Structure 1
Amino acid sequence: MDSIAKQSVRICPFINKAASSLRNVKTLKQSNVPLMAQKCPFMGQAMQKAHLATSAAPEVAKMSQRATSASESAQDSVMVDHATQDSKFDYDGLFEHEVRKKRVDKSYRFFNNINRLAKEFPMAHRQTEEDKVTVWCSNDYLALSKNQQVVDVMKRILDKYGAGAGGTRNIAGHNQHALRLEAEVAALHKKEGALVFSSCFVANDAVISLLGQKLKDLVIFSDELNHASMIVGIKHASTTKHIFKHNDLDHLEQLLASYPRSTPKLIAFESVYSMSGSVADIGKICDLAEKYGALTFLDEVHAVGLYGPHGAGVAEHCDFESHRKAGIASPNYRTVMDRVDMITGTLGKSFGTVGGYVAGSLRLIDWLRSYAPGFIFTTSLPPAVMAGAAEAIRFQRSHLDLRQAQQRHTAYVKKGLADLDIPVIPNPSHIVPILIGNPDLARQASEILMDKHRIYVQAINFPTVARGTERLRITPTPGHTDDLSDILLEAVDDVFNTLQLPRVRDWEMQGGLLGVGQAEYDAAPNLWTQEQLQLTNGDLQPNVKEPIIDLLEVSSGIRY
């Protein structure tokens, strides 16, 4: 009898709960557990049968098995009953509530149906092909997505190798198009190696998170305006982080100085910040990194294709003349681009296709290739996409005029807006952010431009930018000629009159914001100098025209 009681303590929820305070089996005889077991509808029946049995030991074992089965049935019964008594969680209610919050605070996003026409870009059509608009907010900065040389390469590769890559490089292997693309990327940034990802969001997340997971006690220092992909990567890094004020190198140094030089550190920042157009001082950040023993992680997403004599970005632009004269080769000294440990970029903006990458030392790239889940477990880009991206890099490398045209059109629009007293957040880059300062008015401004003037400019609201700094973001391309710019300027002026939006003089009366209407604000000069804008394609080193670039051993894995 006591044996069954002991079993009941272990397997029966009724007895187990009652006997939870008992410390050892010896106390069972002195407790009321057997009595309580007899009251259990299952164990009581089992104990009665055991008491009437003639052969004690074998029968007790059988009863124990039956009791176990009965107890498990009881548990299952209790669980089923409990489940049927509860109502299902209101998933749809949660989704609706969360979306309603976005509608209330005016951060809800509506995506316009924009179908860009390759042969007519920057024109696009909406629902029907007759409903055409002019696109003024594309990140296809050089319009290389419609470049005939790029398109022809992609068509040829598509016909020969098909639509997809067949899986991850880890399983399906890679191909000559991946090898060539990574070689082109590495040559562009004058690094030992490069690794291509499905997007730069994935690249940023994969690289930063892996550094945090593998470098014990790593401390990450991140600019407060860094892109969401870097923020996610830092979160996934699960390590100590510090946010420094935007482009405030004094603040960055204070944070760096609070750690021993031997502590591993990473400074994560961008070259061109896409929503404000501000530009980082890469050289000085490298100075701090070397002084305090930190790695540098530079996101050149909104700069590749647009800066430097060959489109490698702002880091290349810092040593413009030296890189121009050296061409595909490296200058005979350590440049700013050399000093940056890792550079990430996109193939989906200036290079007109899709994908992302990281360029760096051979050891770094081999390490990332071997350990980064975002690379290992993601299907490779299609061969046609990689071939098109490689062709775009090669094409723009020797076409300085594309970058210059983009800069001239940007300058024309900025000057025209200034003449109209339209508030543009000052910056030295190609971004034209028109300050609105209200989410609902920013949306209305975008809608009037679209519905009345057939101009597409997307409103930028929270969380992309801080509340109270909502804006329209304009990005001219080489195809946005002066006649189109004049139409845009007239339309924006009409929108400001219609909605009675604050102009520069109004922001001045309020004390100014983000450099708009702030008398003491010291605007940085444009990155492109007048001398650089006067150069021609013929002024580039001849070796950039059709360079022979060796494939990278690290792309396949280094054999020892």
Structure 2
Amino acid sequence: MFDYAGFFADRIDGLRTTGQYRTFVQIERLAGSFPRALHHRPDGPREVTVWCSNDHLGMGQHPAVLAAMRAVLDASGAAAGGSRNISGTTPHHVALEREMADLHGKESALVFITGYAANDAALYVLGRTLPDCAFFSDRLNHASMIMAMRASGAERHVFAHNDPADLNRKLCAVRPGRPKVVAFESVYSMDGDMAPMAELCAVAQRHGALVYVDEAHTVGMYGPEGAGLAARLGVADEVTVLMGTFAKGYGTAGGYLAGPGPVVDAVRSLAPAFIFTLSMPPALAAGALASVRHLRASGTEREQLHERAALLKSLLRQAGIPLVSEESHIVPVLVGDAHQCRRLAHVLLERHGLYAQPINHPSVARGTERLRINPSPVHRPADVHHFADVLDREWRALGLPRTKAAVRVAEPA
């Protein structure tokens, strides 16, 4: 008989050998005190400062968000009780969808229990439904986008990362008039770099392609009222379908699509990832709505986010600590070795109470392992200076390089 457990045990041992084995750090956020949190250890909890949270604006502890969630939790309970089609659509879902459509100037919106599900549902339906559809996908697109395009069975062309000229070449190779979908992200979360959105949209428009953009790491944090990078760059009308998430800038959970009514309705009607899954809990929808409305009215959090990120990048640049990119609010510190990356993260946490999770393959290409640091408005300037100082000292102690590693080779999507 085949030894199933032994087979997988060997695979896991291989991950440990290469430094790819993933461990979970037990972190308990402290509302009202975040980024302070409790690190639960065998010898008891210890207070630490979190530097790798995707709650980029600290909205996960905002009083308006918590109050909205408490009120609906008390009124409606913990869950919607089913899928959106079976008892799972509440006034809170409807209000949130109307808000997102209005924010992005689109005809319709649809919310999901996760951002992964939103990408999965939309790209699957586009590829499966459009006749003889061809996808044109950025090489570094998120796994949720890649897997959905593959699952749809549609033809897929991968263009060089952030390269409008390569996108144009690949579009030229497909016959005119054929349905085409150009899919990319506005900010890439692992490298922290920004897409040349205006150029990519212009190329897609010349070829009559539908433009699908994942703005998970920009909504709430960029553009007027937090409408995202496309809105900041003035190309929102050239994006056909926009995907966003409530789990990052908005500090809650869930994802959404915004776009033309018929396209969004087709996803609602045809996507297995929407039809056959649980509805977002109504309290969560209410919290997300409160967060969106606050950030539409307030630019303070966005300003402080970018101030903190600029400060940290400046300090690390002065220290000679290499960064993958300096384009966005994400600060990816390039270590370049899986084992050293884990050692650095361990020292920061155990010796200094600074939590920064190592990012290794397959999230990034081998040889580009990194710490992805996410400063936020809830990190004080003194916190930023302290983190940079500690990182510099431990970087020196581990003998890590002060220049960028060899040119990164992205792995095939």
Same fold (TM over 0.5): yes
Higher helix share: 1
Asked whether the 8 Å contact 2:110–2:268 carries over to 1, the reply is yes
Aligned to 2:11: 98
Of 429, 433, 450, which aligns to 2:328? Answer: 429
Any idea what the Cα deviations from partners look like across 1:48-78, whole Å, max 9, x if unmatched? xxxxxxxxxxxxxxxxxxxxxxxxxxxxxxx
Task: Tell me if the contact between 1:277 and 1:428 (Cα under 8 Å) persists in the aligned partners.
Answer: yes
- Superposition map of 1:21-60 within 5 A: none
- Of residues 438-447 and 111-120 in structure 1, the stretch that sits farther from structure 2 once superposed is 111-120
Indicate the residue corresponding to 1:316 in structure 2. 231
Deviation, 1:109, is: 0.5
C-alpha change, 1:173 and 1:432, in structure 2 (3 Å) is: closer
Distance 2:299 2:286 in 1: 22
Higher strand share: 2
2 CA distance for matches of 1:392 and 1:485?
A: 25
Other structure's SS at 1:302 match: coil
State the Cα deviation string for residues 531-551 of structure 1 (Å, max 9, x = none). xxxxxxxxxxxxxxxxxxxxx
Q: With structure 1 as the length reference, what TM-score do the two structures score?
A: 0.71
For residue 338 of structure 2, what is the amino acid of its counterpart?
Answer: P
Is 1:288 the counterpart of 2:203? The answer is: yes
Q: Is the 8 A contact 2:186 2:218 kept in 1?
A: yes
Identity of aligned residues (%): 43
Superposition pairs of residues 284-363 of structure 1, within 5 angstroms: 284-319=199-234, 336-363=235-262
Distance (whole Å) between structure 2 residues aligned to residue 285 and residue 212 of structure 1 = 20
1:162 aligns with 2:61: no
Match status 1:89 vs 2:15: no
Local SS of the residue matching 1:126: strand
Instruction: Look at both structures and tell me which one has the larger radius of gyration over its CA atoms.
Output: 1
Matched, 1:124 2:23: no
2:51 is equivalent to residue 140 of structure 1: no
**What value does the CA root-mean-square deviation take over the aligned residues?**
1.3
Distance 2:346 2:209 in 1: 46
Q: Which moved more, 1:471-480 or 1:282-291?
A: 282-291
1:252 matched to which residue of 2?
Answer: 167
1:182–1:195 CA contact under 8 A, matched in 2: yes
Asked whether the equivalents of residues 406 and 478 of structure 1 are also in contact (C-alpha less than 8 Å), the reply is: yes
Amino acid at match of 1:378: T
State the Cα distance separating 1:427 from its structure 2 match: 2.9
Pair 1:264-2:179 in alignment: yes
SS in 1 for 2:222: coil
Aligned counterpart, 1:219: 134
Native 8 Å contact 1:200 1:346 kept in 2: yes
Please state whether the residue corresponding to 2:82 is helix, strand or coil.
coil
Does the 8 Å CA contact 1:279/1:427 hold for their aligned counterparts? no
Specify which of 367, 384, 397 is matched with residue 468 of structure 1. Answer: 367
Name 1:494's counterpart in structure 2: 393
In structure 2, how many angstroms separate the alpha carbons of the residues matched to 1:403 and 1:140? Answer: 12
Amino acid in the other structure paired with 1:414: K
Distance 1:115 1:261 in 2: 54
Is the CA contact 1:296–1:342 (under 8 Å) kept in the aligned structure 2?
A: yes
Indicate yes or no: 2:188 matched with 1:277. Answer: no
Residues 147/173 of structure 1: CA separation in 2 closer, same or farther (3 Å cut): closer
367-376 or 135-144, which deviates more: 367-376
What 5-or-longer segments of structure 2 have no aligned partner?
Answer: none
1:191-221 deviations in Å (ceiling 9; x for gaps)? 0100011111011011111111111211111
Partner secondary structure for residue 226 of structure 2? coil
The question of whether the paired residues in 2 share the 8 Å contact of 1:425 and 1:514 is answered with no
Alpha-carbon distance, 1:130 to partner:
4.9
What letter is aligned with 2:11? Answer: E
For residues 462-506 of structure 1, the C-alpha deviation after alignment (integer angstroms, 9 at most, x for no partner) is 0000000111110111011111011101110111111100002xx
The residue type equivalent to 1:90 in the other structure is D
Once the two structures are superposed, residues 148-193 of structure 1 have per-residue CA deviations (whole angstroms, 9 ceiling, x without a partner) of 0110110011001111101012121511001001011111111010
Q: Counterpart amino acid of 2:179?
A: P
Match of 1:452 in 2: 351
SS across alignment from 2:225: coil
Q: Deviations over 1:405-456 (max 9, x none)?
A: 0000000000001111111123321011111110000000000000111100
Query: Is residue 2:13 matched to residue 1:114?
Result: no
How far the C-alpha of 1:227 sits from its partner, in A, is: 0.4
Higher relative contact order (CA 8 A, sep 6+): 2
> Deviation digits for residues 327-361 of structure 1, max 9, x if unmatched?
xxxxxxxxx11110000011111111111111001
**Counterpart mapping for 1:361-400 below 5 A:** 361-400=260-299
Distance 2:153 2:394 in 1: 46
Count of residues in Structure 1 that have an aligned counterpart in Structure 2: 407
Does structure 1 residue 484 correspond to structure 2 residue 397? no
Shift of 1:90: 1.4
Which of 164, 174, 193 does residue 89 from structure 2 map onto?
174
The one-letter amino acid of 2:379's match is H
Asked whether the equivalents of residues 138 and 159 of structure 2 are also in contact (C-alpha less than 8 Å), the reply is yes
Q: State which drifts further: 124-133 or 390-399.
A: 124-133
In the other structure, the counterpart of 1:234 is 149
Hey, what's the Cα distance between the residues in 1 that align with 2:229 and 2:309?
Answer: 17
Q: Distance between the aligned counterparts of 2:150 and 2:19, measured in 1?
A: 27
Q: Distance in 1 between matches of 2:335 and 2:166?
A: 29
Aligned match of 1:57: none
Runs of 4 or more above 6 Å deviation: none
Q: Supply the distance in 1 between the matched residues of 2:133 and 2:54 (Cα, whole angstroms).
A: 34
SS at match of 2:80: coil
Kindly state the Cα deviation for residue 514 of structure 1 after the two structures are TM-superposed. Answer: 5.5
Cα drift, residue 309 of structure 1: 2.0
| 2:308 counterpart letter in structure 1 | H
- Whether contact under 8 Å (2:51, 2:356) holds in the other structure is yes
**Superposed CA offset, 1:73-125 (max 9, x none):** xxxxxxxxxxxxxxx32111122122112112111111111111111111000
Q: Distance in 2 between matches of 1:418 and 1:479?
A: 22
